[in-house]
């Protein structure tokens, strides 16, 4: 174990491991398939990064989010550790270069999106990778059809094991999984034996609160003004609401940014940086925000809308209090939410006929005939598509995800296509231009010094690097390149996260689409159960919230947390009962002589008058007192 501790100290500066990190590292280091169950903030990345460095060779890390990949690769490189990534949006030549680097160089990590595992390039090159140390599957619940975020592409991981001609252990990591999902993960990944190392889901520093309110906006502002220290996250269901709430908060002098998947990569990066550096206190976001975010001073996470599942809530709420200090997870609830939540079911699982019609319309959209389109990839604008075919965006998005789960398409919404530039003018034509202006000339000169082949084909560029080297802001670089594009001096394609659709099978008649029970009916019933469970959590006011969450994940607890809204309500109620009992006993003692006493005499007892009056009413209702013309006496 000392080798692992030395690596931890050298690269991360920590003296010891936390929680179950050491147990997981020892298990995978012994070559055993291992499932690590660690709540958000438990330090999952250490569990595979440390043993991968110790074991040497190449660790394949499969993770669903491009932003998370790029962040972790950047962090590893800053520590002097060689790491690469392959994801959608990369050119064929760049993918080949990355894989060859991993085969020939001493790289320790190759991050992959699960969809890349099926590519012909990767499969062909896999035969030359003789140095794979182990496979790490992050967000492993995505492999289970019972998991709350099932991703069909994760099923390719088990096939990957068969393609590697030697034993490669698998480390699966997840922050949220029920016992049913835990069992299914190990079965899907073909573990030869059960080996799940668990960390308690209990977060003793996190206070869970459900606040029932008729006016969520006022309640939100009130809560955030009450919490003046640290930063906050507010989760909403839709993109428009993130913008509206951010504007509301800023108008109340609460600095806020909004964040959702529809923003450009540059916009998301800037807003995240502003929040991380404390320039804005609140991030108002959809669930597109938060994966891989490790900001220690988040004091409160507020769910303005109810999430779809306990798993999603637990993961998002767990982004508060990562420094171990007291933090709050607040859910705003209005009884109207019940109807809204139940309406999500047909939105997430539209009728099968709607799914078939969406498939036909997609094929019409791209002018694909029967038997055509195998392997084709197309950019996809859901707004334009829905406008053309008069469909609703939410149901359309759901229909495409179901077609993805059924194996007919890959519907990829987490793309990151980097900015590209190609000069239209030749070198001679560029040199003949006059009066371009200092800004344009400086940016062109910078690009020609740093990027090759710009006159022959598109080349990837990074506006951040150009900005740093020229002294111009990112906006100035962007505006200048757009102007040069409009003047037909160059072609500029800004960074984009536009979704894509890839056809995995030739087009067939929609009536022949196979929407099996595993793809549709069983998933629909599972979704209904999750909706009902989160509603039950929000509506319950007689059970400790921490215990409810622990029991959902199969963890027994023999104590209440003592700090959630339910526990505090009980304490207050118990305290009131104790006060009432004390006053009742004092009145009984005063009246034990059986004589009549003025009510005013009772009010001279050393208790607040309203509480004495409450005790008198209680004792009369229980027939402990007789009352007559301003006098009372005890009943025997």
Which of 179, 198, 217 is a domain's end point? 198
pLDDT-derived band at 304, boundaries 50, 70, 90? very high
Residues 577, 450 share a domain = no
Domain containing 437 equals 420-493
Q: What pLDDT, on the 0 to 100 scale, is given for residue 636?
A: 63
In a domain, 412, yes or no: no
What's the chain's average pLDDT?
89
Q: How far is residue 469's CA from residue 446's CA, in Å, rounded to a whole number?
A: 8
Q: What percent of the chain has pLDDT over 90?
A: 53
Q: How far is residue 82's CA from residue 107's CA, in Å, rounded to a whole number?
A: 5
pLDDT-derived band at 89, boundaries 50, 70, 90? low
Residues 579, 541 share a domain = no
Question: Is the pLDDT reported for residue 575 higher than 90?
Answer: no
Tokens, residue 553: 């994940």
Contacts of 19 (CB under 8 A, 6+ apart): 38, 42, 43, 199
Place of tokens 């008198």: 616
Which of 144, 165, 198 is a domain's end point? 198
Residues 125, 41 share a domain = yes
CB-neighbour burial class of residue 313 (10 A; exposed 0-12, middle 13-18, buried 19+): buried
The CATH number assigned to the domain holding 575 equals 1.10.10
Strands 409-412 and 459-460: unpaired
Partners of 501 in beta bridges: 378, 411
Q: How far is residue 320's CA from residue 302's CA, in Å, rounded to a whole number?
A: 10
Q: How far is residue 6's CA from residue 192's CA, in Å, rounded to a whole number?
A: 31
Q: How far is residue 593's CA from residue 633's CA, in Å, rounded to a whole number?
A: 9
Q: What pLDDT, on the 0 to 100 scale, is given for residue 361?
A: 97
Q: How far is residue 91's CA from residue 502's CA, in Å, rounded to a whole number?
A: 16
Residues 139, 210 share a domain = no
Q: What are phi and psi of 109, to 5 degrees?
A: -140, 135
Q: Would you tell me how many other CB atoms lie within 10 Å of the CB of residue 524?
A: 16
The alpha carbon of 503 is separated from its chain's Cα centroid by a whole number of angstroms, namely 27
In a domain, 343, yes or no: no
pLDDT tens per residue across span 430-484: 888 888 889 999 999 999 988 888 888 888 888 888 998 899 988 899 999 999 9
Angle at 244 between CA 241 and CA 248, to 5 degrees: 135
Question: Cβ distance 285 to 233 under 8 Å?
Answer: yes
pLDDT tens per residue across span 331-367: 999 988 888 899 999 999 999 999 999 999 999 999 9
pLDDT-derived band at 88, boundaries 50, 70, 90? low
In a domain, 414, yes or no: no
Question: What's the whole-number mean pLDDT along residues 125-132?
Answer: 86
In a domain, 526, yes or no: no
In a domain, 545, yes or no: yes
The CATH number assigned to the domain holding 248 equals 3.40.50.300
In a domain, 528, yes or no: no
In a domain, 472, yes or no: yes
Q: Would you tell me how many other CB atoms lie within 10 Å of the CB of residue 482?
A: 12
Which of 137, 170, 198 is a domain's end point? 198
Residues 310, 218 share a domain = yes
Residues 512, 472 share a domain = no
In a domain, 345, yes or no: no
Tokens, residue 227: 């919490």
Q: What pLDDT, on the 0 to 100 scale, is given for residue 337?
A: 87
Residues 194, 61 share a domain = yes
Residues 315, 181 share a domain = no
Residues 251, 188 share a domain = no
Tokens, residue 609: 């008058």
Three-state DSSP class for 409?
A: strand
Task: Please count the structural domains in the chain.
Answer: 5
pLDDT tens per residue across span 490-545: 999 887 778 889 998 999 999 999 999 989 999 999 999 999 999 999 999 999 99
Residues 154, 69 share a domain = yes
pLDDT tens per residue across span 541-560: 999 999 999 999 988 888 89
Question: Is the pLDDT reported for residue 14 higher than 70?
Answer: yes
Q: What pLDDT, on the 0 to 100 scale, is given for residue 558?
A: 83
Residues 357, 309 share a domain = no
Residues 586, 489 share a domain = no
């Amino acid at each position: 174990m000392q080798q692992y501790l030395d690596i931890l100290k050298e690269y991360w500066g920590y003296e010891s491991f936390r929680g179950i990190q050491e147990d997981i590292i020892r298990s995978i280091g012994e070559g055993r398939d291992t499932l690590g169950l660690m709540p958000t903030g438990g330090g999952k990345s250490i569990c595979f990064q440390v043993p991968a460095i110790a074991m040497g060779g190449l660790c394949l890390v499969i993770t669903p989010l491009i932003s998370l990949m790029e962040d972790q690769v950047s962090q590893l490189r800053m520590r002097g550790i060689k790491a690469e990534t392959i994801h959608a949006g990369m050119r064929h030549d760049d993918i080949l270069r990355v894989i060859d680097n991993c085969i020939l160089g001493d790289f320790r990590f190759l991050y992959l999106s699960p969809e890349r595992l099926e590519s012909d390039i990767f499969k062909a090159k896999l035969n030359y990778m003789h140095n794979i140390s182990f496979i790490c599957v992050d967000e492993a619940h995505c492999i289970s059809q019972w998991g709350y975020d099932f991703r069909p592409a994760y099923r390719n991981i088990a096939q990957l094991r068969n393609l590697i001609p030697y034993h490669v252990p698998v480390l699966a990591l997840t922050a949220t999984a029920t016992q049913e999902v835990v069992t299914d993960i190990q079965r899907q990944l073909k573990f030869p034996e059960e080996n799940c190392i668990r960390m308690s889901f209990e977060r003793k520093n996190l206070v869970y609160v459900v606040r029932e309110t008729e006016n969520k906006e006022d309640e939100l502002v009130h809560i955030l003004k009450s919490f003046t220290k640290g930063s906050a996250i507010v989760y909403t269901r839709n993109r428009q609401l993130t913008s509206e709430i951010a504007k509301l908060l800023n108008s109340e002098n609460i600095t806020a940014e909004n964040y959702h998947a529809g923003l450009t990569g540059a916009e998301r990066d800037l807003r995240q940086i502003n929040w991380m550096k404390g320039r804005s206190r609140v991030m108002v976001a959809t669930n597109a925000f938060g994966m891989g975010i490790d900001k220690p001073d988040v004091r409160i996470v507020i769910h303005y809308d109810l999430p779809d599942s306990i798993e999603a809530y637990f993961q998002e709420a767990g982004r508060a209090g990562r420094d171990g200090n007291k933090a709050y997870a607040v859910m705003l609830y209005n009884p109207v939410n019940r109807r809204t939540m139940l309406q999500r079911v047909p939105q997430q699982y539209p009728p099968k006929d709607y799914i078939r019609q969406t498939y036909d319309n997609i094929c019409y959209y791209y002018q694909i005939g029967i038997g055509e389109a195998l392997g084709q990839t197309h950019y996809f604008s859901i707004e334009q598509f829905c406008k053309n075919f008069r469909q609703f965006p939410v149901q359309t998005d759901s229909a495409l995800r179901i077609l993805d789960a059924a194996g007919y398409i890959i519907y990829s919404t987490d793309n990151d296509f980097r900015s590209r530039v190609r000069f239209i003018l030749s070198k001679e034509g560029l040199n003949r231009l006059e009066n371009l202006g200092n800004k344009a000339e400086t940016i062109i000169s910078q690009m020609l010094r740093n990027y090759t082949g710009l006159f022959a084909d598109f080349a990837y560029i990074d506006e951040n690097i150009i900005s740093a080297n020229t002294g111009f802001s990112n906006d100035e670089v962007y505006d200048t390149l757009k102007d040069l594009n409009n003047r037909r001096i160059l072609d500029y394609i800004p960074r984009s996260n536009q979704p894509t659709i890839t056809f995995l099978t030739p087009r067939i008649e929609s009536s022949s689409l196979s929407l099996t029970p595993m793809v549709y009916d069983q998933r629909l019933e599972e979704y209904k159960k999750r909706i009902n469970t989160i509603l039950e959590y929000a509506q319950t006011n007689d059970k400790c919230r921490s215990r409810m969450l622990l029991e959902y994940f199969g963890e027994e607890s023999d104590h209440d947390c003592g700090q959630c809204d339910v526990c505090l309500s009980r304490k207050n109620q118990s305290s009131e009962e104790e006060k009432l009992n004390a006053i009742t006993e004092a009145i009984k003692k005063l009246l034990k002589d059986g004589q009549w006493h003025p009510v005013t005499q009772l009010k001279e007892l050393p208790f607040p008058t309203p509480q004495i009056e409450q005790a008198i009413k209680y004792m009369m209702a229980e027939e402990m007192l007789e009352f007559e013309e301003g006098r009372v006496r005890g009943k025997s």
